[in-house]
Structure 1
Amino acid sequence: MSTTVHKGPKGKTAAAAGAPPAARRGFLESKAADWALPTALVVLVVAGWQGLVSLGGVEEYVLPAPGDVVAKMFGDFGVFAEQSVPTIVAIFVGFALAIAVALPIAVGMVYSVVVRKAVYPLLIIAQVVPKVAIAPLFIIWFGFGQLPKILMVALICFFPVVIDSLVGFRAARPESLMLVRSMGASRWQAFWKIRWPWALPSIFAGIKVGITLAVVGAVVAEFVGADTGLGVLLITARGDMDSLTVFASIAWLTVIGFVLFLLVEVLERVLVPGKKSGRKFEASGSL
């Protein structure tokens, strides 16, 4: 049976007429589009923000102009850089602590039913408890300083790392595990050859969520009780009704969070070539 292809007035098929141009499709699939499109959107939002302030639609003390915020960020660079150090240290140490605890727990939950049934409900309880309610207890128990911030960061980003790691470890195909075990591999050899590479994409998914929450955890701890950090600078400026410093502090925190996310993204590209899923990872012969 023959198939009739309907053509438009200029002889083009209907499918070709409705398809986007090759150049546009090629650009959207290129790496340049990954940066150009969000950059264009940010520029558009900032231009609208600047226009709203310039036209007098909002008072400057309520919403300062973006140019003034940038000038404040770099004009008081020394102050912001000094206050950023304790915040960044708390983020790095707390996040490393969360990963160091989350990965072994996820492995234990994979290999032990007892551990999984005993620990999983506690993970849910720890996640649903408001972290802002726990922060004052950390101040009472550990005093002011870096330790309460580190613990808050670890607590707030622990859950996504352990859950995504658990999902990744359990996603390994049973037939692949049975194959390597039948070839004489030990349980830990099967783990490093099968479960670990299979789980890496899921682990990094949890790490990327966790690193953004780590910034939130550090700021929350600094809000409740700390003597240094960007969160302290922000809450002090808020008390003084200094909205320019508030916006500049938020901008600094945004930059820090974005840079940390990019670092995790780079690390993922190094350790997980092509950012392959577990099934594709196995199909490529990288097991």
Structure 2
Amino acid sequence: MVPAALAFALLLAAWELYARLGGIAPTVLPAPSRVLLQAWENREALAENTLPTIRATAAGFACSLFAAFILSALVDFLPRLRRALFPLLIASQTLPLVAIAPLVVLWFGFGLAPKILLVALVTFFPMMVALVEGFAATEKEIAEMLAAMGAGRWRIFWLARLPSALPYFFAGLRISITYAVVGAIFAEYAGAAKGLGIYMLSAKNNFRPDLVLAAVAVSAALTLALFGLAVLVQRLAMPWENAKSERGGRDRKPGHARDGSP
């Protein structure tokens, strides 16, 4: 964490020096200090446009999460369904968002629905694939033992296959959640009354790169916050992994080598 913060601080310092001493006009490349100042002065407008983006992101991601879980469970119970669905799901990921977003807005209007649909489209596939692979990674011995004890298919799924899929699921979740805000902003570009996408578009048309970068910084902060939330949920949902990591860290401390060496 500290090396990343230092690298980011050095990057901002280099950017600040280049913007101030390089003779670059603020309308071309504003300094980080100017971006921060303009973000503070326009904080009310930024906040007003951030809330619709958060709503679209949260609603779209929730729908994506629900659909990924339901479809992955169906695929696990009905293996033939995988051969039918996966080609369609892969094809959906080849659709360029820039091209599909205006069509979705045209079909569903300028309300919340097209934004939810586009966020779900962007974030659904990684979680779906991760869950399917996680279910398939269940150890056969555990499933056979539960079956020998009289557990049905659903109980085996709940007690064995779902816990086995959790590490895969959270890996897919972390990937998907980084795309959620981007999907919402693209949807707003295509058509919306308010949102960070509309704010960026308006700032660009008014030749205000400082405000564009301020909105980009807000969207990046939202993405980082969602990623951190995903990591927190993973730690709460999988406490045994935390204990395993702590034990591994203690084993690697100096003086605790397994071969007895200092």
Taking the TM superposition and a 5 Å limit, the aligned residue runs for 1:172-251 are 172-251=138-217
Q: Pick which of 91-100 and 267-276 moved more.
A: 267-276
Equivalent residue for 1:27?
Answer: none
Amino acid at match of 1:205: A
* 1:261 matched to 2:234: no
* 1:170 matched to 2:136: yes
| Distance of 1:91 and 1:142 partners within structure 2 | 17
Amino acid at match of 1:201: P
Distance 1:183 1:274, change over 3 A: closer
Deviation string, structure 1 residues 181-201 (Cα, Å, up to 9, x no partner): 111111111111111111111
Moved over 4 A (4+): none
Deviation at 1:230, TM superposition (A): 0.6
Equivalent residue for 1:55?
Answer: 21
Equivalent residue for 2:253?
Answer: none
Asked if the contact 1:83/1:233 (under 8 Å) is kept, the reply is yes
| Distance of 2:240 and 2:96 partners within structure 1 | 37
Equivalent residue for 2:111?
Answer: 145
| Distance of 1:266 and 1:74 partners within structure 2 | 29
Q: Which of 100, 112, 127 does residue 66 from structure 2 map onto?
A: 100
| Distance of 1:236 and 1:73 partners within structure 2 | 15
What 5-or-longer segments of structure 1 have no aligned partner? 1-34, 282-287
* 1:76 matched to 2:42: yes
Amino acid at match of 2:239: P
Asked if the contact 1:169/1:198 (under 8 Å) is kept, the reply is yes
Amino acid at match of 2:102: P
Asked if the contact 1:268/1:275 (under 8 Å) is kept, the reply is no
Q: Which of 145, 149, 161 does residue 127 from structure 2 map onto?
A: 161
| Distance of 1:154 and 1:272 partners within structure 2 | 25
| Distance of 1:263 and 1:111 partners within structure 2 | 30
Length-normalised TM-score, structure 2 = 0.90
| Distance of 1:80 and 1:125 partners within structure 2 | 36
Distance 1:274 1:52, change over 3 A: farther
Aligned residues: CA RMSD: 1.5
Equivalent residue for 1:125?
Answer: 91
Q: How many residues get paired?
A: 244
Deviation at 1:113, TM superposition (A): 2.2
Deviation at 1:59, TM superposition (A): 2.6
Q: Which of 70, 76, 92 does residue 110 from structure 1 map onto?
A: 76
Asked if the contact 1:181/1:190 (under 8 Å) is kept, the reply is yes
| Distance of 1:216 and 1:85 partners within structure 2 | 15
| Distance of 1:202 and 1:216 partners within structure 2 | 23
Distance 1:177 1:224, change over 3 A: same
Deviation at 1:58, TM superposition (A): 2.8
Distance 1:65 1:102, change over 3 A: same
Amino acid at match of 2:16: Q
| Distance of 2:22 and 2:83 partners within structure 1 | 60
What 5-or-longer segments of structure 2 have no aligned partner? 246-262
Length-normalised TM-score, structure 1 = 0.82
Equivalent residue for 2:10?
Answer: 44
Deviation string, structure 1 residues 22-50 (Cα, Å, up to 9, x no partner): xxxxxxxxxxxxx2111111111111111
Q: Pick which of 55-64 and 99-108 moved more.
A: 55-64
